[in-house]
Chain A
Amino acid sequence: MKVITGVVGNDIHVVANRLIDLSLRARGFEVFNLGVNTYLEEFFDAAVETGAEVLLISSLNGEAEGWGREVKALKAKYKTLDDLIMMIGGNLVVGSGNAEDIVPRYKNYGFDLVCHQVDLNTGLDLLEVFIEDKKLQKSNK
């Protein structure tokens, strides 16, 4: 399965980005890593060019809050990305915040999976479960 990943906005957390890349590969995903300082449009465009099924955005400095608000409107401009699984993880706010507030907010932005300050492997476990559930739902239709 193809996954696009990268760090959104003006965020240079390259180590985290590399760890996500390695962990995804270890789990058998085909990874297209756009690296750090990536704009939202580049993520969606990469999904179109590769036919990726998953978009995993990471954000460590809290910039995701600003970019996240634009996800729904931007994704709506693409005609082939309706089935794209949208996941975001990292430190998703500036300062402190609790997951109970943050997760619904990001889901409202258009993300299927939101992992705020969640351990990487736990987050990727959630992704695999989500993919399996989605497959099951599809086969039941």
Chain B
Amino acid sequence: MSQNKDKLLIDVGSTYFKVSTSEHIEQHFRDFNKDIFDDLKYKCGEIISRYAKADVNICSSANGGLSALIIGVTHTFSLKFATNIAFNSGINIIDTILYQNIEEYSVPSDLVDVVIVVGGIDSHSNIFSDSLYNYLAQLNYSNLVFVGSEQEASSIKDNIEHAVVLPNIIDDRLHIVEEHLKEYLTNLYQQDIEGKEDIKNLYDITSNQIYSTPYIVNKALPLIDARFSIVNPFILLDIGGATTDIHYSKDLVDDNIVTENEYDRLVFKKLGVYKSKQSLIFAAKNNEFVYELLTHLKVTENIFDEQSEKATKVLMQLAVFLVLCKMSHYKKSYINLKLLAVNSIVLTGGVTKVLAVEDIEYIISFFYKKILTSDHNPVVVLDSNYDIWTLGAQGNELCQ
């Protein structure tokens, strides 16, 4: 880890704080009985006091991010484009709804931070009707943004109070237009942070904008060669306490999304080893290969009930396996990666503190043999000193 200028970089995760200076990096387990700001000051107060507000950069994934519900008219265009933009903006998607079947979907009981409605190119009209408005009337949400056909915009505005209308994310050649929605969602994330007591106090120690951690990690990827020997195409797995993020080279997908981004992001919200431990175990128990994997690791399912270093290690290994399964053609999902073309798998986040390279290679080799019936073995790179995060934070700083 190295920094050109003496800046203080702070990452507030769901489980740990990471604090990086030009001299060293340290991490602290969070005290969940304390306010984030108080906890940070208690543990790192001395370091923080040495830096002016302008020299402190903070990113956070601790506030859980924003939850989004997307309503679109097709899987291939509207839902896929909006999902891609939302993930790349650091948003967590709770569900996607295919508009023609909207009456068959149950209404989420929890408050949704933002509803994204999309569909149709600008020359298409009469796409949405009462079924949309009836569904929305039952839904508890804070914001609604419409990014579909401009001919539908006035009726959306007439029927939905406080609806924000932005330019269509689908152009007249059926290509994605991402900047307007991306900017809106990034700003919404910002407002969300500022509105949350726990996070907004962090502005007492920085005069810079607080970004979401996945946004910062994504920024680092084009620069990753500076710190690691990585061969493209690669995937980056950020397995943490609450969520698992995947950033992947666009070369690994065959799809109709053409943007300037070299890397896209996907998040599995309830896949983590601390806050999301129970849902990780649930997902593991529902995977037909997991019991074989446990045998391979020489443990039994009783490991799920244990609280030990060994148990955490096994959970991390399961998380790596499950994420690869979810991204492979074995599971049909929003996106499937060409995993046989992957040359490097980079791991960052909490997983790097628990597993050694050999532990990960063992799982990856099992995955490729069992699921993809291949001897392919991508190179495993462990970002054990949070270099990717510091690289992204510095890169972002330089861009400002």
User: Which residues in A have some Cβ–Cβ distance to B below 8 Å?
Assistant: 2, 30, 32, 34, 41-42, 45-46, 48-51, 78-80
Residues of B near A45 (CB, < 8 A) are 74-77
B118-126, B288-296, B351-359: which one contacts chain A?
A: B118-126
Judged by a CB distance under 8 angstroms, whether B100 is at the interface is yes
The CA of A48 and the CA of B124, in the complex, are separated in Å by 9
B75 and A49 within 8 A (CB): no
- Measured CB to CB, the closest approach of chain A to B244, in angstroms, equals 28
B120 and A42 within 8 A (CB): no
Residues of A near B174 (CB, < 8 A) are 32, 34, 46, 49-50
- Measured CB to CB, the closest approach of chain B to A76, in angstroms, equals 12
Judged by a CB distance under 8 angstroms, whether B170 is at the interface is yes
The CA of A45 and the CA of B100, in the complex, are separated in Å by 12
Judged by a CB distance under 8 angstroms, whether B61 is at the interface is no
B115-133 near A? 1/0 per residue, CB < 8 Å: 0000111011101000000
A42 and B100 within 8 A (CB): no
The CA of A51 and the CA of B123, in the complex, are separated in Å by 8
Residues of A near B74 (CB, < 8 A) are 45-46, 48-49
A49 and B73 within 8 A (CB): yes
Judged by a CB distance under 8 angstroms, whether B173 is at the interface is yes
Judged by a CB distance under 8 angstroms, whether B78 is at the interface is yes
Nearest B-chain residue to A37, judged by Cβ: B254
- Measured CB to CB, the closest approach of chain B to A57, in angstroms, equals 15
User: Which residues in B have some Cβ–Cβ distance to A below 8 Å?
Assistant: 73-78, 100, 119-121, 123-125, 127, 170, 173-174, 256
Query: Provided the pairs A78-B100, A80-B100 are in contact, do residues A49 and B170 lie with their beta carbons within 8 angstroms?
Result: yes
B76 and A46 within 8 A (CB): yes
Nearest A-chain residue to B170, judged by Cβ: A49
Residues of B near A51 (CB, < 8 A) are 120-121, 123-125, 127
Query: Provided the pairs A50-B124, A50-B174, A51-B124 are in contact, do residues A42 and B119 lie with their beta carbons within 8 angstroms?
Result: no
A41 and B75 within 8 A (CB): yes
Query: Provided the pairs A32-B173, A32-B174, A42-B256 are in contact, do residues A49 and B77 lie with their beta carbons within 8 angstroms?
Result: yes
Residues of A near B127 (CB, < 8 A) are 51
- Measured CB to CB, the closest approach of chain A to B153, in angstroms, equals 16
Query: Provided the pairs A41-B76, A79-B100 are in contact, do residues A49 and B119 lie with their beta carbons within 8 angstroms?
Result: yes
- Measured CB to CB, the closest approach of chain B to A47, in angstroms, equals 9
The CA of A113 and the CA of B124, in the complex, are separated in Å by 25
- Measured CB to CB, the closest approach of chain B to A91, in angstroms, equals 24
Nearest B-chain residue to A38, judged by Cβ: B256
Question: When A and B form their complex, which 9 residue pairs have the shortest distance between CB atoms, in order from nearest?
Answer: A45-B74, A45-B76, A51-B124, A79-B100, A49-B77, A42-B76, A48-B74, A50-B121, A48-B73
Residues of B near A48 (CB, < 8 A) are 73-74, 100
The CA of A55 and the CA of B74, in the complex, are separated in Å by 16
Nearest A-chain residue to B255, judged by Cβ: A42
Q: Known A-B contacts: A48-B73, A49-B121. Give 9 more (CB < 8 A).
A: A34-B174, A41-B76, A45-B74, A45-B76, A49-B119, A49-B124, A50-B123, A51-B127, A78-B100
- Measured CB to CB, the closest approach of chain A to B39, in angstroms, equals 48
A and B contact pairs by CB, cutoff 8 A, 13 listed: A41-B75, A41-B76, A42-B256, A45-B74, A45-B76, A45-B77, A46-B76, A46-B174, A48-B73, A49-B73, A49-B74, A49-B78, A49-B119
- Measured CB to CB, the closest approach of chain B to A109, in angstroms, equals 21
The CA of A109 and the CA of B78, in the complex, are separated in Å by 28
Residues of B near A2 (CB, < 8 A) are 123
Residues of A near B119 (CB, < 8 A) are 49
The CA of A30 and the CA of B123, in the complex, are separated in Å by 11
Which of A34, A46, A50, A78 is the most central at the interface, judged by chain B CB atoms within 10 Å of its CB? A50
- Measured CB to CB, the closest approach of chain A to B73, in angstroms, equals 5
The CA of A49 and the CA of B169, in the complex, are separated in Å by 12
The CA of A42 and the CA of B74, in the complex, are separated in Å by 9
Residues of B near A42 (CB, < 8 A) are 76, 256
- Measured CB to CB, the closest approach of chain B to A131, in angstroms, equals 19
- Measured CB to CB, the closest approach of chain A to B180, in angstroms, equals 18
- Measured CB to CB, the closest approach of chain B to A1, in angstroms, equals 12
- Measured CB to CB, the closest approach of chain B to A2, in angstroms, equals 8
Which of B74, B77, B124 is the most central at the interface, judged by chain A CB atoms within 10 Å of its CB? B74
The CA of A79 and the CA of B77, in the complex, are separated in Å by 17
The CA of A79 and the CA of B129, in the complex, are separated in Å by 14
- Measured CB to CB, the closest approach of chain B to A31, in angstroms, equals 10
Nearest B-chain residue to A39, judged by Cβ: B76
